[in-house]
């Protein structure tokens, strides 16, 4: 038996130990967590455990599998009790069998620590005096045992105090994107003691991320960012709970993910996700804190559907297509810029959770870190705000990228009857001329300004250097009913490489 499970019945430790028997195992280590009769100086009469089961099972299995892999254990299993328990009962059991004792101890320790930190389990304590209350397990189990983490300097702020600190511990924040902005947001909120952080990111850590994403180290390369960030933050602050979700935010899951937090923070690096976060937040009536960076500048906006505030679509009704303006990879980025913007986001989240004054609302903040200027632009709510965001359904069915892109050589494309349009800027065309005559050169801006109308009787193939701008242009032209437009996949770079290889 290898894995993780919940049970509503008493745990039979002897039977579980037997189930891990393995002739190749020379060592076995087990940990048992028991219900004790006191917590925080109060007498505890009994306990109830509750879990977000679907997610907890997935996370629990991942933790056990990871511990087996990392320590080279033979077999490992963890069972967590749910429901009502009396003092002295077994609440959680972990067992590991391995060739030698060292791996068994290490894997067992890792499993119980990560289960406590990462798995969404709550505990309701019934005290002798009749009082009771739900506590996040990571919180109650570790808070007392983490004397190294002390919020006193923050509690000393008169606007926060012990009540504010409790409010933070009870709050949950969903962070979409664990890149440059996300690292700063997550570190800021974890340090402040926000009780639960949900980390949504489907990417893995790459070497080119590290200079601006200090939650990761070179050892994390290739590891999913959500999990790597959660491990790092769990070690940083053991009093909070982390929920890593290595998934892409999609129209299908956006509403469900946004509902997991009191606030959602957009730290993504593409327009599709930013609009999705905005729309899901508006539809759910939850605040969203959005930021973006470009080279030495950033923009910050707080979407407040819960307070009749404006949203991203109030100023930008149509979702901007990705590929039209540069991203971090194309335009370059330096660490402190996303770090500053991310910390501004973290501060706005804390202001929201704590009800602090001066919250950004109905404004767009522009920050320039070269000349250190800031500008606040009034961005009022559009009367049709909510109707626009109802387009989340529309986002669910964008033109499938596959049908917009073709992979052909330019010569074949010409033979197949495509009119080829080079949408690069004149200086790019000079630097890398098209390898084939007989094409038109219409720079992107000119093609999209509406003055150039394409002939509906012809088929067009748009070409740029990487295939990104041409895909964005093809999407926009299709949306504008200029139907017969395709994009050359991979652009000139790929075409030339293929050609040279022949």
Partner 1 sequence: MPRIRLRYYALLREQAGRQEETVETAARTPAALYQELILRHGFRLPQAQLKVAVNAAFTDWTYALADGDEVVFIPPVAGG
Please report, as ranges, the residues that interact with partner 1 according to CB under 8 A: 177, 179-182, 266-271, 274, 291-295, 297-299, 315-316, 320, 322, 324-328, 331, 333, 338, 364, 366, 368, 370-371, 375-380, 425, 443-445, 448-450
Q: 10 Å Cβ neighbour count for 183?
A: 27
Residue 231 vs 310, nearer CB to Zn ion: 310
Shortest gap between Cβ of 351 and partner 1 (angstroms)? 21
264: partner contacted, choices partner 1, Zn ion, none (Cβ within 5-8 A by kind): none
370: partner contacted, choices partner 1, Zn ion, none (Cβ within 5-8 A by kind): partner 1
Shortest gap between Cβ of 171 and Zn ion (angstroms)? 24
Residue 163 vs 451, nearer CB to partner 1: 451
Residue 113 vs 269, nearer CB to partner 1: 269
How far is 373 from 126, CA to CA, in rounded Å?
Answer: 54
Residue 104 vs 379, nearer CB to partner 1: 379
Is the distance from CB of 116 to CB of 80 less than 8 angstroms?
no
Show the tokens assigned to 437: 């005559």
Q: What's the number of CA atoms in the CB half-sphere (13 Å) around residue 35? A: 26
Is the distance from CB of 293 to CB of 180 less than 8 angstroms?
yes
333: partner contacted, choices Zn ion, partner 1, none (Cβ within 5-8 A by kind): partner 1
Supply angle C-alpha 53, 55, 58, rounded to 5.
105
How far is 116 from 168, CA to CA, in rounded Å?
Answer: 19
How far is 476 from 320, CA to CA, in rounded Å?
Answer: 10
Shortest gap between Cβ of 251 and Zn ion (angstroms)? 18
How far is 209 from 85, CA to CA, in rounded Å?
Answer: 46
Shortest gap between Cβ of 361 and partner 1 (angstroms)? 14
Shortest gap between Cβ of 211 and Zn ion (angstroms)? 35
385: partner contacted, choices Zn ion, partner 1, none (Cβ within 5-8 A by kind): Zn ion
**H/E run at residue 426:** helix 426-431
**If you write DSSP's letter for every residue of 353-386 in order, what string do you get?**
HHT-S----SEEEEEETTTTEEEEEE-PPPTTHH
Shortest gap between Cβ of 491 and partner 1 (angstroms)? 17
Shortest gap between Cβ of 325 and partner 1 (angstroms)? 5
Residue 136 vs 273, nearer CB to partner 1: 273
**H/E run at residue 229:** helix 225-236
**If you write DSSP's letter for every residue of 168-213 in order, what string do you get?**
HHT-EEEEE--SHHHHHHHHHHHHHT-SEEEEE---B--GGGGGG-
How far is 209 from 203, CA to CA, in rounded Å?
Answer: 11
Supply angle C-alpha 13, 19, 24, rounded to 5.
125
SS3 of 267-301: CCCCHHHHHHHHHHHHHHCCCEEEEEEEECEEEEE
Residue 390 vs 479, nearer CB to partner 1: 479
Shortest gap between Cβ of 329 and Zn ion (angstroms)? 30
Shortest gap between Cβ of 328 and partner 1 (angstroms)? 5
CA distances from 99 to 24, 108, 166 (A): 6, 14, 45
How far is 386 from 278, CA to CA, in rounded Å?
Answer: 11
Residue 108 vs 385, nearer CB to Zn ion: 385
Is the distance from CB of 136 to CB of 56 less than 8 angstroms?
no
Shortest gap between Cβ of 132 and Zn ion (angstroms)? 42
Dihedral over Cα of 196, 202, 205, 207: its sign? negative
313: partner contacted, choices partner 1, Zn ion, none (Cβ within 5-8 A by kind): Zn ion
How far is 344 from 326, CA to CA, in rounded Å?
Answer: 23
Residue 32's DSSP bridge partners are 93
315: partner contacted, choices partner 1, Zn ion, none (Cβ within 5-8 A by kind): partner 1
131: partner contacted, choices partner 1, Zn ion, none (Cβ within 5-8 A by kind): none
Residue 51 vs 175, nearer CB to partner 1: 175
343: partner contacted, choices Zn ion, partner 1, none (Cβ within 5-8 A by kind): none
Binding site for Zn ion (CB under 5 A): 311, 313-314, 385
Residue 283 vs 325, nearer CB to Zn ion: 283
**Residue 450 DSSP label:** S
Residue 25 vs 473, nearer CB to partner 1: 473
How far is 243 from 328, CA to CA, in rounded Å?
Answer: 27
311: partner contacted, choices Zn ion, partner 1, none (Cβ within 5-8 A by kind): Zn ion
338: partner contacted, choices partner 1, Zn ion, none (Cβ within 5-8 A by kind): partner 1
56: partner contacted, choices partner 1, Zn ion, none (Cβ within 5-8 A by kind): none
Shortest gap between Cβ of 193 and Zn ion (angstroms)? 32
Residue 167 vs 313, nearer CB to Zn ion: 313
């Amino acid at each position: 038996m290898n894995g993780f499970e919940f049970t509503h019945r008493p745990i039979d430790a002897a039977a579980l130990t037997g189930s891990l028997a393995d002739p190749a195992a020379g060592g076995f280590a087990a940990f048992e967590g028991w219900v004790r009769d006191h917590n925080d100086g109060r007498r505890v009469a009994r306990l109830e455990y509750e879990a977000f089961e679907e997610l907890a099972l997935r996370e629990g299995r991942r933790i056990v599998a990871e511990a087996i892999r990392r320590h080279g254990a033979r077999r490992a299993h963890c069972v967590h009790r749910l429901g009502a328990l009396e003092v002295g009962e077994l609440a959680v059991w972990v067992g590991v069998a391995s060739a030698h004792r060292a791996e068994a101890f290490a894997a067992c320790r890792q499993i119980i620590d990560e289960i406590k930190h990462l798995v969404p389990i709550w505990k309701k304590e019934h005290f002798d005096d009749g009082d009771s209350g739900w506590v996040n397990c990571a919180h109650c189990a570790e808070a007392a045992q983490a004397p190294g983490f002390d919020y006193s300097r923050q509690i000393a702020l008169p606007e926060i105090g012990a009540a504010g600190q409790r409010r933070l511990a009870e709050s949950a924040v969903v962070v979409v994107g664990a890149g440059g902005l996300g690292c700063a947001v997550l570190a800021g909120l974890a340090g402040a003691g926000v009780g639960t952080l949900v980390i949504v990111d489907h990417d893995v850590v790459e070497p080119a991320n590290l200079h601006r994403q200090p939650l990761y180290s070179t050892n994390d390369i290739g590891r999913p960012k959500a999990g790597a960030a959660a491990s790092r933050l769990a070690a940083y602050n053991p009093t909070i709970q982390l929920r890593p979700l290595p998934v892409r935010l999609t129209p299908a899951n956006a509403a469900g993910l946004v509902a997991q937090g009191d606030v959602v923070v957009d730290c993504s690096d593409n327009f599709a996700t930013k609009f999705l976060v905005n729309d899901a937040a508006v539809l759910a009536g939850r605040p969203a804190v959005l930021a973006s960076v470009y080279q030495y500048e950033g923009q910050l906006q707080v979407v407040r559907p819960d307070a009749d505030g404006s949203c991203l679509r109030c100023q930008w009704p149509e979702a901007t297509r990705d590929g039209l303006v540069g991203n971090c990879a194309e335009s370059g980025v330096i660490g402190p810029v996303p770090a500053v913007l991310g910390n501004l986001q973290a501060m706005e989240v804390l202001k929201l959770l704590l009800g602090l004054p001066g919250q950004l609302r109905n404004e767009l903040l522009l920050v320039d870190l070269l000349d250190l200027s800031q500008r606040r632009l009034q961005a009022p709510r559009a009367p049709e705000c909510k109707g626009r965001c109802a387009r989340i359904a529309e986002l669910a069915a964008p033109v499938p990228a596959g049908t917009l892109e073709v992979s052909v050589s330019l010569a074949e494309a010409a033979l197949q009857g495509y009119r080829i349009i080079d949408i690069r800027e004149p200086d790019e065309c000079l630097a890398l001329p098209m390898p084939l005559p007989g094409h038109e050169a219409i720079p992107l801006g000119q093609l999209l300004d509406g003055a150039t109308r394409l002939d509906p009787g012809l088929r067009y193939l748009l070409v740029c250097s990487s295939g990104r701008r041409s895909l964005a242009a093809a999407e926009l032209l299709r949306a504008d009913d200029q139907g017969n437009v395709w994009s050359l996949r991979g652009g000139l770079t790929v075409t030339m490489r293929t050609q040279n290889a022949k």
